[in-house]
Amino acid sequence: MIQDIAPHQYNNAYKPVPPKKDSFALYYEKRTCLMKKSEEGMTFPTFADLERLNEDIYENYTYLFSIDNKPFYLVNDINRERLSAYTMENTEVFRTIQPRYLAFAGITGYQLYSWYQSHKFCGRCGSPTQKDEKERMLYCEKCGLMEFPKICPATIIAVRDGNRLLLSKYAGRAYKKYALLAGYTEIGETIEETVKREVMEEVGLKVKNIQYYKSQPWSFSDTLLMGFYCDLDGEDKITLDQDELALAEWFEREDLPEVTSDESLTNEMIQMFKLGKI
């Protein structure tokens, strides 16, 4: 999956040390990121690349995290002239681009960029927020409100019926491939209750034997995904929520579509069932 970057080691401890010339500088504009693409893969600009046209680059930065003890930083409002080798690319490229550890860095950095952009001002009194020096937190000096990075718990749900697996396609989304059922956990709800509610809401089915599989950070949507397998409990007639899904159908194990990428928890769960490992 996208976070599986071994032998590289990701460390999200907040250690706002000053950048060096060879430190990576992550720059975003809305849903795009500055990078250099080649046949070998992609890379990000370093502070050395940016310093000639950005005199304050070593003062205007935000520490993000490190990989293999090399820190990554967020930079804003930079001058991109004479960086002809670098282009602004949609963050969706991080699903498949190589090397994977830099793709993971790019999308994780994007999640933090989005959080910082959305919390420049206090949501309670409207005053400008300040960065804390000891932890990754924004605070309001006027009213004392503290804000931490946004992480939304969500479920990925593989519904089984013996040798069959339920697949679906989203309605009104750019992603057109088959997927598993999914949904966010609501306030006051356990993860297991989320599984039952989402299956009932989206396809009108009851489930039992809910089994946790594994989790995945999914920075494309600020979520922490938790994967579950469960079994059909009763009738298999699908009642489709057409606002959420374009279709949902049962597949025999041997007829499941081929999984062409391994970046997501959804694809791994489909593949595990297809191979008879679940």
Are 19 and 94 members of one domain?
yes
Q: Is residue 109 part of a domain?
A: yes
Q: Is residue 137 part of a domain?
A: no
Are 98 and 175 members of one domain?
no
Answer yes or no: pTM beyond 0.85: yes
CA distances, 265 to each of 66, 179, 225 (Å): 24, 10, 8
DSSP state letter for 134: S
Residue 174 reports pLDDT greater than 80: no
What is the mean predicted confidence (pLDDT) over 227-246?
96
Domain boundary among 118, 139, 168: 118
pLDDT of 22-40, one tens digit each? 999 999 999 999 999 888 8
Structural domain for 264, as ranges: 152-274
Domain boundary among 102, 118, 134: 118
- For 180, half-sphere exposure in the C-beta direction (CA atoms, 13 angstrom radius) is 29
Q: Cα 189 to the chain's mean position, in Å?
A: 22
| Average pLDDT, rounded, for the chain | 94
Residue 81 reports pLDDT greater than 80: no
pLDDT of 108-138, one tens digit each? 999 999 999 999 999 999 999 999 999 999 9
Q: Is residue 140 part of a domain?
A: no
Q: What is the pLDDT of residue 207?
A: 98
CA distances, 228 to each of 23, 180, 236, 250 (Å): 39, 10, 19, 17
Domain containing residue 253: CATH number: 3.90.79.10
- Rounded (5°) CA angle 222-224-228: 140
Greater model confidence, 192 or 174: 192
Q: What is the pLDDT of residue 140?
A: 98
Number of structural domains found in the chain:
2
Residue 54 reports pLDDT greater than 80: yes
Domain boundary among 118, 143, 177: 118
What is the mean predicted confidence (pLDDT) over 220-244?
96
Q: What is the pLDDT of residue 55?
A: 82
Residue 208 has which token pair? Answer: 């039992």
Are 187 and 91 members of one domain?
no
What is the mean predicted confidence (pLDDT) over 57-73?
95
Residue 223's pLDDT band (boundaries 50, 70, 90)? very high
Are 96 and 185 members of one domain?
no
pLDDT of 140-152, one tens digit each? 999 999 999 999 9
Q: Is residue 26 part of a domain?
A: yes
Q: Is residue 17 part of a domain?
A: yes
